[in-house]
A and B are shown apart, each in its own frame.
Chain A
Amino acid sequence: QSVLTQPPSASGTPGQRVTISCSGSSSNIGNNYVNWYQQLPGTAPKLLIYRNNQRPSGVPDRFSGSKSGTSASLAISGLRSEDEADYYCGAWDDSLSVVAFGGGTKVTAL
């Protein structure tokens, strides 16, 4: 059971907006930055969003992140087939002294 809670799956048709939630507590999301990772099939994870809502160089602006209280979300605007991947949220947990990850959300383009 993961410290951060994500839905196991999300889907949309190409061009749609898809949102993934990440729920935590005051010891993790509530008091620390949230980062999002994209893992394409058979590859290593890649940093997609850092410090709640910042995009690394090269990440398309259709990906955006937000945080409110003890929850965060990742939005994909204009879903593309190449966005099919597993997405993980991550944050430091002050109580456990670990980087906590969500269980991952598999995004499918229908």
Chain B
Amino acid sequence: EVQLVQSGAEVKEPGESLKISCKGSGYSFTTFYLAWVRQKPGKGLEWMGVIYPDDSDTRYSPSFQGQVTISADKSISTAYLQWSSLKASDTAMYYCASADTAILSELESWGLGTQVTVSS
């Protein structure tokens, strides 16, 4: 059974850096695509980007390119989403989700989410 375990909630101040994680188990981590999806409070889903852990090939949504960094460490089956300088507008729930085919919109398994709150 595919399981994606995300790191815990974070409260940060504007300008701070942050790296959240998503650990996969129960499947071949390197051969599934791993995506990040943002959901702002009371709003819909936004696809941020995806990584293929086997070769770290990464694609970003133009809306998030340059704003975040997606990475993975296949030795510990973990993917990351990173900010270098948070803004209040980054306050949201962030989900990781896996796709076992190149149909990137077919997100079969989801983590429980990591709540990120950015406030001074």
Q: Do A and B come from one complex?
A: yes
Q: Residues of A at under 8 Å CB distance from B?
A: 2, 32-35, 37, 44-47, 50-51, 56, 88, 90-92, 96-104
Are A45 and B105 in contact (CB-based, < 8 A)? no
7 A-B pairs with the lowest CB-CB distances in the bound complex, closest first: A99-B47, A44-B110, A104-B44, A101-B45, A99-B105, A98-B61, A90-B105
Question: From B93, which residue of chain A is reached at the shortest CB distance?
Answer: A44
- A50 and B106 within 8 A (CB): yes
Chain B residues, CB < 8 A from A46: 110
Residues A44 and B105 in contact in the complex (CB < 8 Å), given A88-B44, A98-B61: no
* Contacts from B to A (Cβ < 8 Å): 35, 37, 44-47, 50, 59, 61-63, 95, 97, 103-113
Residues of B within 8 A of A33 (CB): 103, 105-106
Compute how far the CA of A100 lies from the CA of B35 in the bound complex, rounded to whole angstroms. Answer: 13
Cα-based distance from A102 to B59 in the complex (angstroms): 20
Contacts of B109 in A (CB 8 A): 47
Alpha-carbon separation in the docked complex, A47 to B100 (Å): 13
C-alpha gap A2/B47 in the complex (Å): 11
- A99 neighbours in B (Cβ, 8 Å): 35, 47, 50, 104-105, 107
Q: Given A44-B95, A47-B108 in contact, is the A98-B62 Cβ separation under 8 Å?
A: yes
Does A98 lie within 8 Å of B95, measured CB to CB? Answer: no
Instruction: Check B45 against A35 for contact (C-beta < 8 Å).
Output: no
Distance in angstroms from A72 CB to nearest chain B CB is 12
Contact B110 A91 (CB under 8 A): no
Name the contact of A35 in the complex, choosing from B61, B106, B111 (C-beta under 8 A). Answer: B106
Nearest chain B CB to A35's CB is how many angstroms away?
5
